Structure 1
Amino acid sequence: MAEYLLEMRGIVKEFSGVKAVDGIDLKVRRGEVMALCGENGAGKSTLVKVLSAVYPYGTWDGTILWEGRELKASSIRDTERAGIVIIHQELMLVPQLSVAENIFLGHEPTLPGGLIDFETMYSRAAQLMAEVGMPQIKTALPVSYFGGGQQQLIEIAKALNKNAKLLILDEPSSSLTKSEIDGLLRLIDGLRAKGTACVYISHKLEEVAAIADRVTVIRDGTLVGTAPMADLSVDEIIRMMVGREIKNLYPREPHPVGDVIFEARGITCYDIDNPAHKRVDNVSFTLRHGEILGIAGLIGAGRTELVSALFGAYPGRSEGEIRLDGEVLRISSPRAAVAKGICMVPEDRKHHGIVPQMAIGHNITLSTLPRFAPSLLINEEVELQAMLEEIRRLGIKAGSPALPISSLSGGNQQKAVISKMLMPLPRILILDEPTRGVDVGAKYEIYKLMFELARQGMSIIMVSSELPEILGISDRVLVMGEGQLRGDFINESLTQEKILAAAITQLPLAG
């Protein structure tokens, strides 16, 4: 039996003459959790797409050995048949189908004559869900009934049904709560004990430290090194990833905070499916000139609904009053909000932040097109200069502004969305989960940008599920729970414990 379950040797993948992956080696043993770390754009996704035959054999150079034999897969079906299964950051589930139907999609058991054997399918689905820690789940219910953490486990059950020997997890915890992450790590530990190997890709290095046996770091498409997790610290992984030491991830910079310029009064958002239920219930707050206001709370607390309503983007019925410089604003759409100086970077960049097949540069200038078309015709030269300047200013890793934005890594897409929302020169910038799926180096750059914008007088509202981020960046923190405002705290000696206490208590806590 070969020492390694998987060996990737000298993998090279080019796009238009540019090497996204240049001579990378990766080795994984049976029952091992290998963490794959690197900045956005480092080549992680390209490497696993080579491994899973999203990029089939013949479109890249190098060698893949699987269980000691060369693997020449021409499709995802080939790699899954071998036992290599990838779970993407964006879950590949069909919301309208049941849990069992999703688990067996494309591999349905059949009766003589070709009809689906539903009894076997539901029985086996129940067994698989028990294996991933959800024995009570009703597998006949549509996937849409379940939250993000449960859907992640359904994806893993789907992979186990394909007899996965190697499970590739790409940013599996980006949308999970702390308790859901803990459950996911316990599940991976259980799979390891049964001999299933995992390649774990995550920017959350505390998770890497908790679960990985070894760590492979790549930077700019090349291999930096591989080492046992026991021989590394989180700081050393960061240094390997970014090529420099980041002593303080939250580079707080002094900036003046002025008078109140924005007020939200009685903001209420009603559930789309159940109008009798309030997703946001009578929330009021203020925002000062040059202030960074963090909004914390558990998932489902109503944070995204609140800021979506401020931006005119909440899809259901909402009410309340907002004032800027004392003037009551009537905002019925994002276009109206941008015209009034309020811009927002949404939580879900894939569906609400980008136009995937449009060029990177055109995505960036989309919010300010009239600026480049004074006579109804776009001045392409002026627009191109603006594109290049924004790409340079935000440090977006792009070969050309003409490439589709979908070709960028998630972190660079996020930078492009931020750039788009800065182009109108807003007075108030709303950032909903601005660093989700973003590597540590890009996080640092985004934080630096936020402090620079605040120093220049821009007011920022930041929603984040990461309490260290809330505490490291905010001047003041609002805490929401069950749609209500539970706390309003100056960020001086504020702790995670106090924020969590406010989030779960039924009564507002004094700041």
Structure 2
Amino acid sequence: MSDYLLEMRAIVKQFDGVRALNGIDIKVKAGECVGLCGENGAGKSTLMKVLSGVYPHGTYDGEIYWNGAPLKATSIRETEAAGIVIIHQELMLVPELSVSENIFLGNEITLPGGRLDYDTMNRRANELLAELNIRDVNVVLPVKQYGGGHQQLIEIAKALNKNARLLILDEPSSSLTTSEIRILLDIIHQLKSKGVTCIYISHKLDEIAAICDTIVTIRDGQHIATTPMREMSVEKIIAQMVGREMNQLYPEKRHTPGDVVFEAKHVTCWDPDNPQRKRVDDVSFTLRRGEILGIAGLVGAGRTELVSAIFGSYEGSYEAEVYYEGRRWHTTSPLQSIRTGLAMVPEDRKHHGIVPDLSVGQNMTMAVLQQFSHGSRIDQDEELKVIRGEIGRLKLKTASPFLPITGLSGGNQQKAVLSKMLLTKPKILILDEPTRGVDVGAKFEIYQLMLNLASEGISIIMVSSELQEVLGVSDRVLVIGEGQLRGDFVNDNLTQETLLAAALAQPLH
């Protein structure tokens, strides 16, 4: 009998002749939590898709052993039957179905005659959630009634219902609040105590350090090291990931903001589902030339709604006056905003940033196609030259600009969306959670790009849930709380405590 529940030996996976995985070995013991670390594009998600049957046996080289026996799964259903369940970064829930229906999706309990046994499913769903210490969820309500934190836990309940022996969590906390992350980590501790084995993928290395027993690092599709967490630190994990010591997480600032060039006045947004409620309540602020303005606040404070209204993409009713160099800008739609010189990289790249059916290059140039058009014809050589230039400038990892954008890692998709907006040559650039799901090395590159743009005179508004990030790159910080402006701070010896106190305090008067 093997000492290991899972062994992956010499795994090789190629796409169009390019090796995404190049002979990776992994061993996982039963009841262990393994942190899988690597930069964007290192091969983490590809490796887990091989393991979970998304890429079936025969489409890769190498061997997988499960509980000592060869595993040659040709589908996800086969790996789930064996007890291997993956929870993807993008949750696989059907919003309109109930919590119970989502937990049993594909594994429904039926009565004689084929009707669904809702009583049994609802009872079992409640039992599963109780095991996870979740008691404030009504399992008969649509899952869309619950926020990201609850939905993530519902996905875990769904996995436990499939009798998961190995649970793969891919960026499970990317859209969770601090308190929700604490609950998630507590639940993983509970699962470990019950003998459930976990593979945890996250760019939040403090979580990895808190929850994992062993760290497996991969870089450029190759296995770098397997190390007990007790011998590691966050700094050592970073060094293994990027192949060098990172002495600083944020680049040194070398730009000085100029005069005020941009003003947003009386921005007010009403809740689309409850028009009596204001999500943003009469917020006004200014922005200097070449300034990086951070917007901080708790989840639900109204930060995304604020910048969406300024850009003209807020889904509900809103009011916003936008001025550039004293002239009123009409930004009632994203297209109008882009044409005036205002661009935005949205928070949800999957739904609002990329077009999944198009290639990497097509996604990058779709907002500026008129630059390459001559009559009714697109100059494809000129377009490709610009695309290759952008891929080099942003250090975007792709085997080819013609590959589907969905084949890229999340961080590289983010760079493509950023490139799309930069090609519009904006005067003002809004970045909503620009480094969500992005690794440490790529984060540094994005911060460096932001500082370079600021030194060229482009003004940047950055929304971020990470206070450390806001303080690391911003010249000035606005704090939003319950839709109101609660603080406007110059970032000079500013602390996370000051920002958090402002977010929780009364509005400024």
Task: Sort the TM-score into its range (normalised by shorter chain).
Answer: over 0.9
Give me the whole-angstrom Cα distance separating, in 2, the residues matched to 1:112 and 1:351. 40
Q: Which amino acid aligns with 1:54?
A: V
> How far 1:507 moved relative to its partner?
2.6
> How far 1:132 moved relative to its partner?
1.3
Matched residue, 1:194: 194
Matched residue, 2:46: 46
Matched residue, 1:290: 290
Cα deviation 1:329-379 (Å, max 9, x = unaligned): 111111100111100000001111111121111111111111111433111
SS in structure 2 of the partner of residue 386 of structure 1: helix
User: Does 1:395 pair with 2:395?
Assistant: yes
TM-score by length of structure 2 reads 0.99
Cα deviation 1:200-239 (Å, max 9, x = unaligned): 0001101101111000000000000100011011111111
User: Does 1:18 pair with 2:18?
Assistant: yes
Matched residue, 1:73: 73
The structure 1 segments of at least 4 consecutive aligned residues displaced by more than 3 Å after TM superposition are none
Conserved 8 A contact 1:252-1:472: no
Task: Output the aligned Cα RMSD.
Answer: 0.9
Matched residue, 2:250: 250
SS in structure 2 of the partner of residue 154 of structure 1: helix
Q: Which amino acid aligns with 1:264?
A: A
How many residue pairs end up in the alignment?
Answer: 509
Give me the whole-angstrom Cα distance separating, in 2, the residues matched to 1:320 and 1:404. 37
Give me the whole-angstrom Cα distance separating, in 1, the residues matched to 2:26 and 2:398. 26
> How far 1:135 moved relative to its partner?
2.0
Q: Which amino acid aligns with 1:477?
A: V
Matched residue, 1:304: 304
Conserved 8 A contact 2:65-2:71: yes
Conserved 8 A contact 1:344-1:429: yes
| 1:357-376 aligned within 5 A | 357-376=357-376
SS in structure 1 of the partner of residue 402 of structure 2: coil
Give me the whole-angstrom Cα distance separating, in 1, the residues matched to 2:290 and 2:105. 51
Matched residue, 1:338: 338
> How far 1:2 moved relative to its partner?
2.5
Q: Which amino acid aligns with 1:413?
A: Q
Give me the whole-angstrom Cα distance separating, in 1, the residues matched to 2:268 and 2:179. 29
| 1:305-454 aligned within 5 A | 305-454=305-454
SS in structure 1 of the partner of residue 343 of structure 2: strand
Matched residue, 2:501: 501
Give me the whole-angstrom Cα distance separating, in 2, the residues matched to 1:508 and 1:479. 10
Give me the whole-angstrom Cα distance separating, in 1, the residues matched to 2:77 and 2:422. 43
Q: Which amino acid aligns with 1:205?
A: L
| 1:36-115 aligned within 5 A | 36-115=36-115
Conserved 8 A contact 1:447-1:473: yes
Conserved 8 A contact 1:127-1:135: no
Q: Out of 434-443 and 366-375, give the one that drifted further.
A: 366-375
Matched residue, 1:185: 185
Conserved 8 A contact 1:130-1:136: no
Give me the whole-angstrom Cα distance separating, in 2, the residues matched to 1:340 and 1:15. 40
Give me the whole-angstrom Cα distance separating, in 2, the residues matched to 1:381 and 1:133. 58
User: Does 1:31 pair with 2:27?
Assistant: no
SS in structure 2 of the partner of residue 282 of structure 1: strand
Give me the whole-angstrom Cα distance separating, in 2, the residues matched to 1:272 and 1:17. 48
Give me the whole-angstrom Cα distance separating, in 1, the residues matched to 2:110 and 2:367. 52
> How far 1:117 moved relative to its partner?
1.3
Conserved 8 A contact 2:366-2:420: yes
Matched residue, 2:277: 277
SS in structure 1 of the partner of residue 77 of structure 2: helix
Q: Which amino acid aligns with 2:49?
A: K
> How far 1:499 moved relative to its partner?
0.7
SS in structure 2 of the partner of residue 208 of structure 1: helix
Give me the whole-angstrom Cα distance separating, in 2, the residues matched to 1:16 and 1:328. 50
Matched residue, 2:229: 229
SS in structure 1 of the partner of residue 255 of structure 2: coil
Q: Which amino acid aligns with 1:425?
A: K
| 1:135-174 aligned within 5 A | 135-174=135-174
Give me the whole-angstrom Cα distance separating, in 2, the residues matched to 1:390 and 1:31. 45
TM-score by length of structure 1 reads 0.99
Give me the whole-angstrom Cα distance separating, in 2, the residues matched to 1:111 and 1:406. 40
SS in structure 2 of the partner of residue 361 of structure 1: helix
Q: Which amino acid aligns with 1:345?
A: V
> How far 1:137 moved relative to its partner?
1.7
SS in structure 1 of the partner of residue 378 of structure 2: coil
> How far 1:276 moved relative to its partner?
1.1
SS in structure 2 of the partner of residue 11 of structure 1: strand
Q: Which amino acid aligns with 2:276?
A: A
- Which structure 1 segments of 5+ residues have no match? none
Give me the whole-angstrom Cα distance separating, in 2, the residues matched to 1:339 and 1:112. 61
SS in structure 1 of the partner of residue 23 of structure 2: strand
> How far 1:183 moved relative to its partner?
0.7
Q: Which amino acid aligns with 2:325?
A: D
> How far 1:247 moved relative to its partner?
0.6
Q: Which amino acid aligns with 1:220?
A: D
Conserved 8 A contact 2:484-2:507: no
Q: Which amino acid aligns with 2:50?
A: V
Matched residue, 1:116: 116
Q: Which amino acid aligns with 1:496?
A: Q
Conserved 8 A contact 1:502-1:508: no
Conserved 8 A contact 2:430-2:462: yes
Give me the whole-angstrom Cα distance separating, in 2, the residues matched to 1:219 and 1:157. 32
Give me the whole-angstrom Cα distance separating, in 2, the residues matched to 1:115 and 1:341. 57
> How far 1:479 moved relative to its partner?
0.4
- Which structure 2 segments of 5+ residues have no match? none
Give me the whole-angstrom Cα distance separating, in 2, the residues matched to 1:142 and 1:115. 20
> How far 1:93 moved relative to its partner?
0.3
Give me the whole-angstrom Cα distance separating, in 1, the residues matched to 2:127 and 2:167. 19
Give me the whole-angstrom Cα distance separating, in 1, the residues matched to 2:105 and 2:132. 18
Cα deviation 1:52-93 (Å, max 9, x = unaligned): 000011111111110110111111000000000000000000
Give me the whole-angstrom Cα distance separating, in 1, the residues matched to 2:38 and 2:153. 25
Give me the whole-angstrom Cα distance separating, in 2, the residues matched to 1:160 and 1:241. 31
